[in-house]
């Protein structure tokens, strides 16, 4: 198998997101070496515990090698950067054979290591997968440095993927981009509630308004607190790691539960006890570019979904309810817990939408795109060449392409095989 050096934007041991889902499935076609991320900013005091835990924790189970690079956490420092470049390359060379051709360099975010590999190594193919508006997580000079570096990586990549229309349009000004929306592990989320409820749901008579994912600054905690107070008879459950002090303030409310993260194999089993799936994101420069995986995971469970008006979810308006104001949120949630929302035909409609976006199909499309760009023109196991019809994320002729006025264009994959633009 052709090896991939997969520079991921999230640690393998973190909650499962796009990078892990892609890496596992790419491993069916390539020999994947998953590399935990090299930081984008200088270390802060609040990072010390996380870093110590990451370095000391035993490796998480994986079918492929997971590389944990070590470096001095002061990106951009003129004295430290040359040392880090040499140290990182020595680590990579000790665990990956750069001399064997062909090999693929997969980049998930801008980093010093990514830049050094592009400068000194000789990959046969470079893939850049844009998952988030990375710079929007940062401010000031750090943000400027990150955005310059990311634009440089996109320009040097042979294949650029984007998880949302916003990201595809952003990078379409630099390079041709293939739109690969997030998917869902349909088999994992085809769950019914188990006989024994989770610890947080001992009173099964209460309606459960649930969320799973990172509790970051992008959630609207003021809105959530007001909703939990208005609907005090419902149980509000937020499963996932806490990365915001505001999230902890919700614990003051007696009907709010923060169980923390759960292992990915147990996530669907616990989320199956939700009555409604929440996506309560603030609308800002960061969330404008997201395509939340949890939306499809809720739908795969058959759950009613209530969400902020995120651009990339608008195509699912037939199975997702959207709200902006407090009163709209309250009304949509009341509709979602009503018996009509759980009618079998509505549950099946949600599962059907999710089923069209399985991760397996997403990766088959990516692999086809990679195969035609390799020097040999194909993979060892062989793959059919893609068809030539441009479609949107639902398999329909796309009208979004016209919105991109740059000299480049973006292409889209969907539930069908890869379909490049004409």
pLDDT at 368 over 70: yes
Give the per-residue pLDDT at 227.
98
Spatial separation of the C-alpha atoms in residues 331 and 312, rounded to whole Å:
23
**Per-residue pLDDT, 414:** 54
pLDDT at 355 over 90: yes
pLDDT for residue 397: 37
- Asked whether residue 398 carries a pLDDT value surpassing 80, the answer given is no
Report d(CA 17, CA 85) in Å as an integer: 28
> Does residue 291 sit in helix, strand or coil?
coil
More confident residue, 56 or 420: 56
Does residue 48 have a pLDDT over 80? Answer: no
Q: Is the pLDDT of residue 290 over 80?
A: yes
Predicted local confidence at residue 225, as pLDDT? 98
For the residues 298-312, what does the mean pLDDT come to?
A: 97
Q: Does the pLDDT of residue 128 top 50, yes or no? A: yes
pLDDT one-digit tens code per residue, 134-150: 877 877 887 888 888 89
**What would the 3-class secondary structure string for 346-368 be?**
HHHHHHHHHHCCEHHHHHHHHHH
Does this chain's domain 3-179 share its CATH topology with 186-355?
yes
pTM of the model: 0.87
pLDDT band at 10 (very low <50, low <70, confident <90, very high): very high
Separation of alpha carbons 347 and 190, rounded Å: 12
Res 394: pLDDT: 34
Domain limits of the chain?
3-179, 186-355
State residue 204's pLDDT score: 86
pLDDT of residue 286: 87
Q: What confidence score (pLDDT) does residue 257 get?
A: 97
Read off the tokens for 115.
């830049």
Tell me how far apart the alpha carbons of residues 262 and 212 are, in angstroms, rounded to a whole number.
Answer: 9
Alpha helices in 109-232 (DSSP H): 112-120, 140-156, 165-171, 186-189, 221-230
Residue 6 β-bridge partners: 34, 106
Which CATH superfamily groups domain 186-355? Answer: Glycogen Phosphorylase B; (3.40.50.2000)
The mean of the pLDDT values for the chain is 86
Distance in angstroms (rounded) separating the CA atoms of residues 164 and 415: 15
> pLDDT tens digit string along 71-117?
988 777 788 989 999 999 999 999 999 988 899 999 999 999 999 99
Flag whether pLDDT at 246 surpasses 50.
yes
Q: 178 falls in which pLDDT band (50, 70, 90)?
A: very high
Q: What value does the mean pLDDT take over residues 159-178?
A: 95
Class of domain 3-179: alpha beta
Q: Look at residues 318, 308, 304, 306 and name the one whose alpha carbon lies nearest to residue 288.
A: 308
Q: Would you say 36 and 8 are in contact if contact means Cβ atoms under 8 Å apart?
A: yes
For residues 100 and 88, give the distance between their C-alpha atoms in angstroms, rounded to a whole number.
19
Q: 10 CB contacts (<8 Å, ≥6 apart)?
A: 17, 19, 20, 37, 108
């Amino acid at each position: 198998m052709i090896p991939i050096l997969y520079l991921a934007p999230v640690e393998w041991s973190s909650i499962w997101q796009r990078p892990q889902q892609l890496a596992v499935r790419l491993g069916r076609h390539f020999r994947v070496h998953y590399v935990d991320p090299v930081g984008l900013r200088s270390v802060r005091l609040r990072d010390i515990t996380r870093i110590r835990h990451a370095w000391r924790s035993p490796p998480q189970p994986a079918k492929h090698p997971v590389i944990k690079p070590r470096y001095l956490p002061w990106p951009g420092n003129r004295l430290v950067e040359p040392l880090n470049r040499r140290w990182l390359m020595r680590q990579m060379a000790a665990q990956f054979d750069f001399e064997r051709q062909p090999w693929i360099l997969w980049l998930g975010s801008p980093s010093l290591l990514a830049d050094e590999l592009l400068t000194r190594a000789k990959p046969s193919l470079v893939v850049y997968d844009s998952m988030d508006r990375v710079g929007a997580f940062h401010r000031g000079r750090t943000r400027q440095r990150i955005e310059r570096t990311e634009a440089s990586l996109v320009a040097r990549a042979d294949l650029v993927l984007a998880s949302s229309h916003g990201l595809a349009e952003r990078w379409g000004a630099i390079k041709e981009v293939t739109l690969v929306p997030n998917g869902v592990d349909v088999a994992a989320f085809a769950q019914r509630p188990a006989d024994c409820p989770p610890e947080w749901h001992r009173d099964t008579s209460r309606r459960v308004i649930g969320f799973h994912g990172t509790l970051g600054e992008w959630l609207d905690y003021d809105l959530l607190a007001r909703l939990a107070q208005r609907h005090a008879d419902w149980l509000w459950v937020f499963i996932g790691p806490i990365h915001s002090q505001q999230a902890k303030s919700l614990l003051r409310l007696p009907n709010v539960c923060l169980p923390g993260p759960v292992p990915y194999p147990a996530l669907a089993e616990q989320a199956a006890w939700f009555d409604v799936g929440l996506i309560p994101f603030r609308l800002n420069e960061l969330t404008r570019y997201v395509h939340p995986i949890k939306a499809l995971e809720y739908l795969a469970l058959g759950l009613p979904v209530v969400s902020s008006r995120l651009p990339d979810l608008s195509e699912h308006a037939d199975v997702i309810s959207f709200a902006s104001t407090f009163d709209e949120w309250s009304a949509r949630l009341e509709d979602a817990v009503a018996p009509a929302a759980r009618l079998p035909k509505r549950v099946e409609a949600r599962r059907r939408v999710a089923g069209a976006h399985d991760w397996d199909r997403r990766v088959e499309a990516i692999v086809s795109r990679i195969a035609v760009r390799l020097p040999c023109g194909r993979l060892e196991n062989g793959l059919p060449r893609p068809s030539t019809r441009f479609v949107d994320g639902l398999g329909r002729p796309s009208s979004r392409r016209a919105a991109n006025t740059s000299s480049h264009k973006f292409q889209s994959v969907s539930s069908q095989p890869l379909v490049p633009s004409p």
